[in-house]
Amino acid sequence: MKAIVVREPGGVDKLRYEDVADPVPGPGEVRVRLEYAGLNRRDLYARMGQYPRVRFPAIPGSDGAGVVDAVGAGVEALEAGDAVIIYPALNWGEDERAPSRAFEILGIPTDGTYAEQIVVPAANVFPKPGYLTGPEAAALPLVGLTAYRCLFARGKLEAGEQVLIPGIGGGLATMLLLMATAAGAHVAVTSSQDRKMTRAREMGAYASVNYRQADYVAELRRAVPDGFDLIVDTLGGPGFEDLVAVARPGGRLVLVGATAGPVPSLVLPRIFLKHLDLLGTSMGSPLDFARMLDFCLEHQIHPIVDRVFPLAEASAAQEYLWAGGQFGKVVLQVSGPT
């Protein structure tokens, strides 16, 4: 089969479009012929070798959608021809509160979805939601899972609540916006780009503030004087204390990313005198995934797909994602219709 193989850590030039042996499903496993694969920022960091457990050579990619084309011994619930999407991790374990030590995300060191075929445990494949296009289905798993766990399993979002999503534009943030508005929340967003703020308002955000403005905290306060019930932070960094400042007393901040780096000097009384919950989360369990699919079906959530690249152009796709101009997900077309 054709696949994108990374033989050593490095830049996008390390993403090589090569012929490799077809993987063969063992007992309890299935082989999926991929139609589309979704990109995540994790793919870039893994390709650079920035995670503790990376090993090479390996095929990147956590997100994929396609069709079952071979079934290992003992797999009865699936057969060749089933359209599926893939739960993008392995070995979550038995505890819904946190993954086991053996937990890993699909794609480097395990072979991932930037390939014509992938072998995964049968428990990892779920029926492809019929209302989604192929690219949408490949865009859903990782961000859908993560966003669902942020908002519901961890954030306990209720209809009518005020939600803040800082840094709108990426795949996760746009999925958070879609799901939170579908759940009946009032969603405000921040961005450094007016264009993304406009898109977010078109998608249902009722307020948007450019965080490059000096007075953006005051503007958020004017928009929501009592403070936000729920804030989902993918950024961290020096802006974190602004989020603490605009949270409602007794409110929740879900921590799910730190693209802006560590929080310099966290003043704890600002958190404990407000009785805030800071709730860490990352990815989600298979149960979260199943519930996420139900939620998306019920609310007909379509992930925002920004752009589709051919599999052979994975380097260009990763460069595009790295540049940060996208609104929504970047997807690779493997064998699905153009």
Contact set with a second copy (CB under 8 A): 95, 97-99, 154, 236, 240, 248-250, 255-258, 262-269, 271-282
Least spacing, CB of residue 270 vs a second copy, in Å: 9
CB 32 within 8 A of CB 69: yes
Least spacing, CB of residue 97 vs a second copy, in Å: 3
Q: What is residue 270's three-state secondary structure?
A: helix
Least spacing, CB of residue 98 vs a second copy, in Å: 3
Q: Which is nearer to a second copy, 27 or 272 (CB)?
A: 272
CB 32 within 8 A of CB 125: yes
Least spacing, CB of residue 278 vs a second copy, in Å: 4
Instruction: State the maximum Cα–Cα separation within the chain, in Å, rounded to a whole number.
Output: 62
Q: Which is nearer to a second copy, 155 or 171 (CB)?
A: 155
Q: CA-to-CA distance for 59 and 119, rounded, in angstroms?
A: 12
How large is the C-alpha radius of gyration of the chain? 20
Tokens of 128: 């492809």
Q: CA-to-CA distance for 64 and 328, rounded, in angstroms?
A: 16
Q: Which is nearer to a second copy, 203 or 271 (CB)?
A: 271
Closest residue by Cα to residue 4 from 119, 117, 114: 114
Q: Which is nearer to a second copy, 29 or 233 (CB)?
A: 233
Q: Which is nearer to a second copy, 99 or 336 (CB)?
A: 99
Least spacing, CB of residue 258 vs a second copy, in Å: 4
What does the DSSP 8-state code read for residue 149? Answer: I
